[in-house]
Amino acid sequence: MRPVSIHTGAWRYPGAWPDANFNFRHLVRLAQTLERGRFDAFFMADHLAVLNMPIDALKRSHTVTSFEPFTLLSALAPCTERIGLVATASTTFDEPYHIARRFASLDHISGGRAGWNIVTTSNPDAALNFGLEEHREHGDRYRRAREFYDVVTGLWDSFADDAFVRDAESGLYFDPARMHVLNHKGPYLSVRGPLNIARPVQGWPVIVQAGASEPGRQLAAETAEVVFAAGGNIDAARAFYADVKGRMDRLGRDRDHLKILPGVLVTVGDTMAEAQEKRALLDSRVHYDSGIASLSVMLGTDASRFDPDAPLPDDIPETNESKSGRERAIALGREGNLTVRQLAQKVGGYGGGQITGTPANIADTMQEWLETEACDGFNVMFPFLPAGLDDFVTKVVPELQRRGIFRREYEGTTLREHLGLPRPANRFFPAG
């Protein structure tokens, strides 16, 4: 994740690295620790602007300086051997030719470990960094994303897997009959091709999606192989799971070809009391200004104008930013019967899914989710670094392994193999 500890109080936790998010040596250690824990992948989120919050909250945020994901993940590639490397890239503010090349390069350099988290970018300030006066409309962003996916995957298929013969004797470098020129012309994009790089090791890097709105779910059902779900309670997770997998059934896609991984912030203690104390200490490190700003981002409207000691008003306006974020914040306030101040404090640290407890408690919860169609796995986040991650790898992972619900060794070498996903056929050269 970016920041590598998503909780806004993480950098102030006693003993934590305040610069965990922006220190390459720390990040190498993190990736290597995750690999020792046999994680599928290291995920690097991405944002194309500083957080859209007032400066009094922004100045407290450890996300303001971050590495760009391709530079970071490429640098981590030679420092690791097996772990997948998943980066976010925006379909709203980038070009398919660039995105296709970068993921193909990362996939080749890492030996087949790349994954692309497709986002449409909800932060409206990103638009201002890319020549626009206003953010693109939500539905429009998703329509462009769908076409963008077709173009990128089409570019990845520019060459058959066996196109590069490199016959020094005859002087033939590649077989021209095994190259395809895309010639795409659509409502949003026009891209000729071919891509100037061989087909990725995995055929296509793994496609990840994290949108949760109606068009976000539909995009996931049509294209994604992994979904980062928002987390939350188990009933909501089951409903989301059934919804997305049901969409796949209707599209004729195999349900097993998409893995739903809710985000979960895991705080480990040797006793429940210890875990809860850690979490309470972490939450106490969030400043109120940060809390109200986070709430504003989630709602897509300025929350500082509401009475802090009353519940959220009923008439929160619709938003062009994250529709699912707005709904989640309203639901959290309603469920807990919270005042604006309490809700701000809650979402100010981290408002998504979480498990706090002993290794056995955590494994129990994970097992329940896995075995009752609430999810296919988890996008695990750590409360502070490095201790929060070390606790997970040394205490929770062995417990999951003992129960036989997590690998002891990597069986394959590519991210697709870790996830049990098939390698896609080349649409222009079906035989390889």
Ligand X SMILES: Cc1cc2nc3c(=O)[nH]c(=O)nc-3n(C[C@H](O)[C@H](O)[C@H](O)COP(=O)(O)O)c2cc1C
The C-alpha atoms of residue 356 and residue 376 are separated, in whole angstroms, by 20
62 is in an annotated binding site: no
CB of 293 to its own copies, least distance (A): 13
Of these, 5, 6, 7, 22, which contacts its own copies (CB under 8 A)?
Answer: 22
Closest to its own copies by CB, 28 or 405: 28
Site map for its own copies, 83-122, x if CB under 8 A? ----------xxx-xx--xx-xxx-xx-------------
Using CB under 8 A, which residues numbered 287 to 316 contact its own copies? Answer: 287
Q: Which tokens go with 183?
A: 């010639």
CB of 146 to its own copies, least distance (A): 17
289 is in an annotated binding site: no
Q: Assess 187 for contact with its own copies (CB under 8 A).
A: no
CB of 210 to ligand X, least distance (A): 4
Site map for its own copies, 195-214, x if CB under 8 A? -xxx----------------
Q: Which tokens go with 97?
A: 């030719």
Nearest alpha-carbon partner for 226 in 75, 86, 343: 86
Q: Assess 173 for contact with its own copies (CB under 8 A).
A: yes
SS3 track for the chain: CCCCCCCCCHHHCCCCCCCHHHCHHHHHHHHHHHHHCCCCEEEECCCCCCCCCCHHHHCCCCCCCCCCHHHHHHHHHHHCCCCEEEEEEECCCCCHHHHHHHHHHHHHHCCCCEEEEEECCCCCHHHHCCCCCCCCCHHHHHHHHHHHHHHHHHHHCCECCCCEEEECCCCEEECHHHECCCCEECCCCEECCCCCCCCCCCCCCEEEECCCCHHHHHHHHHHCCEEEECCCCHHHHHHHHHHHHHHHHHHCCCHHHCEEEEEEEEEECCCHHHHHHHHHHHHCCCCHHHHHHHHHHHHCCCHHHCCCCCCCCCCCCCCCCCHHHHHHHHHHHHHHCCCHHHHHHHHHHHCCCEEEECHHHHHHHHHHHHHCCCCCCCEEECCCCCHHHHHHHHHHHHHHHHCCCCCCCCCCCCHHHHHCCCCCCCCCCCCC
288 is in an annotated binding site: no
Of these, 45, 151, 292, 374, which contacts ligand X (CB under 6 A)?
Answer: 45
Residue 324 binding partner per list its own copies, ligand X, none, with a CB distance cut-off of 5 to 8 Å that depends on partner kind? ligand X
Q: Assess 79 for contact with its own copies (CB under 8 A).
A: yes
The C-alpha atoms of residue 398 and residue 404 are separated, in whole angstroms, by 10
Closest to its own copies by CB, 73 or 260: 73
Closest to its own copies by CB, 99 or 312: 99
The C-alpha atoms of residue 187 and residue 382 are separated, in whole angstroms, by 41
Site map for ligand X, 373-392, x if CB under 6 A? ------x-------------
213 is in an annotated binding site: yes
Using CB under 6 A, which residues numbered 308 to 347 contact ligand X? Answer: 322-325
Q: Assess 300 for contact with ligand X (CB under 6 A).
A: no
Q: Assess 408 for contact with its own copies (CB under 8 A).
A: no
Let me know: does 158 contact 127? Beta carbons within 8 Å: no
Site map for ligand X, 92-131, x if CB under 6 A? -------------------------x-xxxx---------
Q: What is the CA radius of gyration of the chain?
A: 22
46 is in an annotated binding site: yes
Q: Assess 148 for contact with ligand X (CB under 6 A).
A: no
Of these, 81, 129, 243, 408, which contacts its own copies (CB under 8 A)?
Answer: 129
Using CB under 6 A, which residues numbered 171 to 230 contact ligand X? Answer: 210-213, 216, 228, 230
- Which residues does the annotation place in the binding site for FMN? 46, 88, 138, 142, 213
Residues that bind its own copies (CB under 8 A): 11-12, 18-19, 22, 24, 28, 47-50, 55-56, 58-68, 70-72, 74-75, 77-79, 93-95, 97-98, 101-102, 104-106, 108-109, 125, 128-131, 159, 164, 166, 168, 171-176, 189-194, 196-198, 285, 287
- Which residues does the annotation place in the binding site? 46, 88, 138, 142, 213
Residues that bind ligand X (CB under 6 A): 45-47, 88, 117, 119-122, 210-213, 216, 228, 230, 263, 322-325, 379
